[in-house]
Structure 1
């Protein structure tokens, strides 16, 4: 813990939002990947945050429990014996909203860092 706990809080929030942005980027990158079975298809990742004394931490990154999409495409090379392929359970609209939210939270915490730094520097110059 530093002398300025706000740096610890903002720093932990930056780290958490960075994990959230990485998970969202991974989800978007895999949104169109098809597989021949529901077990092999990509599953969306969701970070789970936990409040801790002096900030937040990523408790875990879990897979989304929603079922993958089952698409009938008998001519597809990955199709199973019944002609189905499986698409990830990634909702692109939700992921874009998550990306915007995480990005804005990240930017807000950068502003907290900068404002706190400026206030600390001004405090040091008060006696001059």
Structure 2
């Protein structure tokens, strides 16, 4: 139905932001992991969002407004690794230390992750507010009909 399109779009945003929060929490949990199964330190992961469906501009000129919002929203196109270099920390007693006593630490910065987490939380809340607004408008429309 046409009136539920805005709720569907906000729901895709909430799903994407939840995945983003999961990846951020994974990054924070592995901030001290010096060895993974591949033998290297943990690499920070990032979520890449993409519009759900690509539409040429001419489509907007030729279709009705009901057709414009179908299958819209956001989706996760990829989860990519951050290619920034690992941090070098002097810790000669560590089992992963090289001959000079340095270990490679993950490229995860807790401050950056916390800022990203706040951003994801705010985006999730904004989508929830949009859903609540759409729900309240639908309820008001039903009250008018009484």
Q: Determine the structure 2 residue equivalent to 1:33.
A: 33
Cα offset for 1:21?
Answer: 0.5
Q: Determine the structure 2 residue equivalent to 1:75.
A: 93
Q: Determine the structure 2 residue equivalent to 1:12.
A: 12
SS of the residue corresponding to residue 125 of structure 1 reads: helix
Distance 2:5 2:140 in 1: 18
Q: Please identify the structure whose Cα radius of gyration is greater.
A: 2
Deviations 1:74-99 (A, max 9, x none): 21122234432111001111111100
Q: TM-score, normalised by structure 2?
A: 0.79
Deviations 1:48-87 (A, max 9, x none): 0011241111001011111111222221122234432111
Q: Determine the structure 1 residue equivalent to 2:67.
A: none
Distance 1:114 1:91 in 2: 35
Q: TM-score, normalised by structure 1?
A: 0.89
More helix by share: 2
User: Aligned to 2:76, which of 55, 58, 61?
Assistant: 58
Number of positions where the alignment pairs a residue of Structure 1 with one of Structure 2: 126
Structure 1: gaps (5+ residues): none
The root-mean-square deviation of aligned C-alpha atoms, in Å, is 1.8
- Deviating more after overlay: 80-89 vs 42-51: 80-89
1:101 correspondence with 2:125: no
Cα offset for 1:39?
Answer: 4.8
